Amino acid sequence: MRRIEWPTVALIIACYGLWALAGALLWPGAPVVALAVMALMSALHSSLVHENLHGHPTRNRLVNEALVTLPLSLIYPYRRYRATHLEHHHDARLTDPIEDPESYYKAAWAHARMPRWLQALLVVNNTMIGRILLGPVLGAAGFLAQEARFLRFNAQGVRLAWGLHLLSLVPVLMLVWAFGVPLWLYLVAVVWPSLSLISVRTYAEHRWHDAPEGRTIIVERSPLSWLFLNNNLHIVHHQIPAAPWYALPRLYAESRAHWQALNHGYVYRNYWQLFRAHALRPKEPVVHPVLHQIIAAHPDGTSPPSAKLPLDGRAA
């Protein structure tokens, strides 16, 4: 019993419970409020999925998966996210557009073969407003297109992950139908906003820096910290991924100067400071500033022979 992290268990129960109560009780009389609560809980669920795949709140991987198995934001299978996200935690590869599944940078050769409209869209996507508005759509489109390739070639574990995901979708969709919420409205007013909220956190989580530790951000405080399960203190999470979400503020406060020196001063006071700086101005280039710059050897836009198939959910 001492190995069960009860604050996380309680938060999972509250998340699913508030989502269901919003649909069952608020939707008939206050539909806008109901959809807002459901979107918040769907975003919180995404954060809980991230927490669980890192070994919380129990030491049993299957129990952790079962606790968050109902996908309120519908799109991303738990096991696919787990596989790609744990690969992302190889800090020496952070931001590498080939080796890091969560990098928003593109290799020069991949960028060169994109149509100009997509290149322009990715520039907009690198502004904070663009990421909030377009990021969920571009991310989902890129992820689903890539997953279709993996399914076609029967990549290891992908079909099982999608089979489990489709089964877990059934009760969620049945509840949405029972509440009386049209599916198109749930997608537009719950799924999209929930992913937009998460994109506030992920927008600047990582940057290119020579030192791996300098690639991960600190956002010191935010009213959204509860929704992100304190992953605004992202360098602490990357250095101690086994630490539960409720321990991150204490760990940061105890060694604030250490963490800021470790990540080479990649620090923002809050997300408002980040928004003011990059609401309409891209924070990063689309093409990685250092890695995979050579395109002359591949004028047809094909990937280098040594490049592996990237496992990201970003627009390709």
Averaged pLDDT for residues 50-72: 96
Residue 172 belongs to some domain of the structure: yes
Averaged pLDDT for residues 211-228: 97
Token pair, residue 186, equals 């749930």
pLDDT in tens, 147-174: 999 999 999 999 999 999 999 999 999 9
Q: ∠ CA 154-141-163 to the nearest 5 degrees? A: 40
Within 10 A of 27 (CB to CB), how many other CB atoms are there? 20
Residue 263 belongs to some domain of the structure: yes
Residue 294 belongs to some domain of the structure: no
pLDDT in tens, 26-35: 999 999 999 9
Task: Tell me the C-alpha distance between 221 and 44, whole Å.
Answer: 17
Task: Tell me the C-alpha distance between 107 and 208, whole Å.
Answer: 13
Q: How many CA atoms lie within 13 A of 202 on its CB side?
A: 25
Q: Does 312 score more than 60 pLDDT?
A: no
DSSP of 155-185? -TTHHHHHHHHHHHHHHHHHHHHHHT--HHH
Residue 312 belongs to some domain of the structure: no
Q: Alpha carbon 181 to chain centroid distance? A: 25
304-309: long-range contacts (C-beta < 8 A, 24 or more apart)? Answer: 304/109, 307/98, 307/107, 308/98, 308/99, 309/149
Residue 299 belongs to some domain of the structure: no
Q: Alpha carbon 106 to chain centroid distance? A: 17
Give strand ranges (E) for the chain.
218-219, 267-268
Task: Tell me the C-alpha distance between 164 and 66, whole Å.
Answer: 11
**Quick one: pLDDT band at residue 296, thresholds 50, 70, 90?**
low
Residue 65 belongs to some domain of the structure: yes
Residue 155 belongs to some domain of the structure: yes
Cβ 197 vs Cβ 227: under 8 Å: yes
Q: How many domains does the chain have?
A: 1
52: domain range?
6-278
**Quick one: pLDDT band at residue 313, thresholds 50, 70, 90?**
very low
Cβ 218 vs Cβ 234: under 8 Å: yes
Residue 292 belongs to some domain of the structure: no
